[in-house]
Amino acid sequence: MKVTDLVAEMARPIAEAQGCSLWDVEYVREGSERFLRVYIDKDGGVSINDCEAVSRALDPLLDEADPIPERYHFEVCSAGLERPLRRPSDFEKFMGSPIWVKLYRPLGGRKEFPAILEGYDGGRITVRPPEGEPVTLERSQVALVRLRAEF
């Protein structure tokens, strides 16, 4: 089992007990350092107190389970306003929302553009750029889809 899946199993009930939901878990290398990040979400927004409560409850369980042999930094964070969409449920939840799309190869001369999320079907993502008709992209064409905050 992947480290992120194991940590997600441990973190989900803790986040829910604090009135939050687990959004994502990532284990990444940044420079010479490794980071284990647990992202949480909550209706009305996540506060620093929510992050602290989840961190304090999860930290001793991570120490006990010891799922990562090397040294790492542990963080609990808000999923954020401009969070990436990865799972089918993410796309379904934010249908009709403004997004940023980043492609591996340019489409119409652009690799990144704003759009509205209009559809998701079996890995195919339908988006409407501001200047055009809806475009359906294969998931393999898309490097990143994230929410776009509008103020």
148, 81 contact by CB (below 8 A): no
User: What is the CATH classification number for the domain harbouring 17?
Assistant: 3.30.300.70
User: What integer is the mean pLDDT of 43-49?
Assistant: 94
Residue-wise DSSP of 61-116: HHHHH----S--EEEEEE--TTPBP-SHHHHHHTTT-EEEEEEEEEETTEEEEEEE
- Residues 52, 18, single domain; the answer is yes
How far apart, in Å, do the first and last CA atoms of the chain sit?
A: 41
How confident is the model over 64-103, as pLDDT tens digits?
A: 999 998 999 999 999 999 999 989 989 999 999 999 999 9
Q: What is the mean pLDDT of residues 31-40?
A: 97
User: Domain limits at 16?
Assistant: 3-78
Angle at 48 between CA 23 and CA 79, to 5 degrees: 20
Q: What is the structure's pLDDT at 130?
A: 87
pLDDT digits 0-9 by tens, 112-121: 999 999 999 9
Pick the last residue of a domain from 23, 46, 78. Answer: 78
Does one domain contain both 112 and 59?
no
Dihedral angle over CA of 30, 86, 41, 52, nearest 10: -20
Is residue 25 very low, low, confident or very high in pLDDT (cuts 50, 70, 90)? very high
Amino acid at the residue 104? Y
Same domain for 120 and 99: yes
- Its pTM stands at 0.83
Q: 93 lies in a domain?
A: yes
Confidence tier at 1 by pLDDT (50, 70, 90): confident
